[in-house]
Structure 1
């Protein structure tokens, strides 16, 4: 078995809850406490082409990231993420150096919609962007969104293609928390069988069906003969029903695999900062999130439909077009409710 690496994504995936507005004074404190946990990788936030605000963990320059990690801690690698459908242009990304983030994780999409609404391939666009990341000297993690949309043949082809870039890791990503351990392990073994041994295998999951912890434990017990990377966040803060809880998987790894993650700083981050966010905008398992996972829909519909009865939500999601299930908007939410003869009483 290779090394188990734990990646904290509190400041990045957690930002879906509060629009990444953790606070100018809070962000450095959270980084310091998360460094104390001794996680293997600490993800600081998103790279996006939008105005920088010091109270948010969204950056348009590596210089802004550097300012938050003035002294790197031994044993920790620092990461940021970007998404190929809304990327930071490569000409705005300075080459890597000793003070920059070590890793850039790129969310790649299988398809996207062109200006006429037609579905088109997006993987080659993602490949070209990822190649630019490598050329600028960063370690690359490839994050193919919504693994469940890939057939076995398509997934193997994608893994082989991105392996050509010699990335640090290729992930199995359960973006909407729709898949059980058996299904995700199937994709993990496909990746394991079709990429070089020095590329790590990653897992990023969500808790729409309360499966992230069980899947991560199942992945660890498979004893892959390569390094693995597992994403988690404090108290599970993250998109939809949230992520794998950092404190839970860290405790498991300490007890069962002799790791030395420190739980007290994780709990300090929770009590000092995350608990207040939770009081304003809750995340975690709920019946609406269960239903979006059941019908393979964008989890944003769960928040919009949270005031409806389960039967109303099921009826609406079941009759949605495949495109609307993927592409959430408030307009889509209202239109699909009305189409089903339901009252548009949504958030």
Structure 2
């Protein structure tokens, strides 16, 4: 089993830039390309109470998102993001193997954490693997992180992610938070990493995350095609896949990743922009 896997979240994090309306052809094309590239997990979009529409990566149930998944895929897993404040989890159906969406990512702000974490058992009982995605991990004190871990360890979700929401993390910050979480988190829980590129460190941080986790923990790295994401953008899927191929002998098919960028992502740059600039630098700095 790979100790590190890539989760591409272009259709979720990149969706902010296009009002979540990629269009059905683009959605299907991106998913197909990522599958053919060997990407481990593809996030299909959002679970929300409203904002649906044809060609939008917003869904009320996993069943609605499943229609975009090709029938002949076996190795790739699929995920949806559910924001605690924007989704009524009563709408979440029991896991259906025919839908092939195994993973639910639970996102919440710090002030919502205690109520949010009560949902772990309910989501697990519906048959899903659950990712815990606390917004802005640098906004937590060490004690608050330990308190979060203590609650999480009682329920054993699939993964807990280090989320650098404002792209303000340095390598030293990553080392500190990794050590704190890895030492105290139940060994069966994987650790994820989701970064933003406000200080132009997203790719370097993701590489360091893979290096320091080797032989210690199974991990998951979030990325997007060409770094597409709100504001300064994210770790680039093509960069982290290249790194993993060259340094750890993974077998991601870079030509298919680049094809997907050329066909589906580059045209979007005519209607929206992302990436490092001074305002996002100031946001990360502050």
2:190 maps to 1:190: no
Separation in structure 2 between the aligned mates of residue 2 and residue 24 of structure 1, nearest angstrom: 32
Separation in structure 2 between the aligned mates of residue 136 and residue 105 of structure 1, nearest angstrom: 14
Shift of 1:90: 1.8
Match of 2:90 in 1: 91
Q: Which has the larger radius of gyration?
A: 1
Match of 1:199 in 2: 189
Unaligned runs of 5+ in 2: none
Shift of 1:160: 2.0
Match of 2:113 in 1: 123
Cα distance change on mapping 1:14 and 1:176 into 2, 3 Å: same
Shift of 1:161: 0.9
Q: Deviations over 1:233-272 (max 9, x none)?
A: 1000012200000000100100000000011111111111
Shift of 1:227: 0.1
Match of 1:210 in 2: 200
* Number of residue equivalences: 284
CA RMSD of aligned residues (A): 1.4
Cα distance change on mapping 1:185 and 1:137 into 2, 3 Å: same
Question: Secondary structure of the equivalent of 1:6?
Answer: strand
Separation in structure 1 between the aligned mates of residue 6 and residue 81 of structure 2, nearest angstrom: 16
* Conserved 8 A contact 2:29-2:264: no
| TM-score, L = length of structure 2 | 0.96
Unaligned runs of 5+ in 1: 112-121, 296-347
Structure with the bigger RCO (C-alpha within 8 Å, sep 6+) is 2
Q: Deviations over 1:291-328 (max 9, x none)?
A: 01111xxxxxxxxxxxxxxxxxxxxxxxxxxxxxxxxx
Separation in structure 2 between the aligned mates of residue 40 and residue 27 of structure 1, nearest angstrom: 17
Aligned runs of 1:1-347 on 2, under 5 Å?
3-71=3-71, 73-87=73-87, 89-100=88-99, 101-111=101-111, 122-222=112-212, 223=214, 225-295=216-286
* Conserved 8 A contact 1:84-1:129: no
* Conserved 8 A contact 1:21-1:55: yes
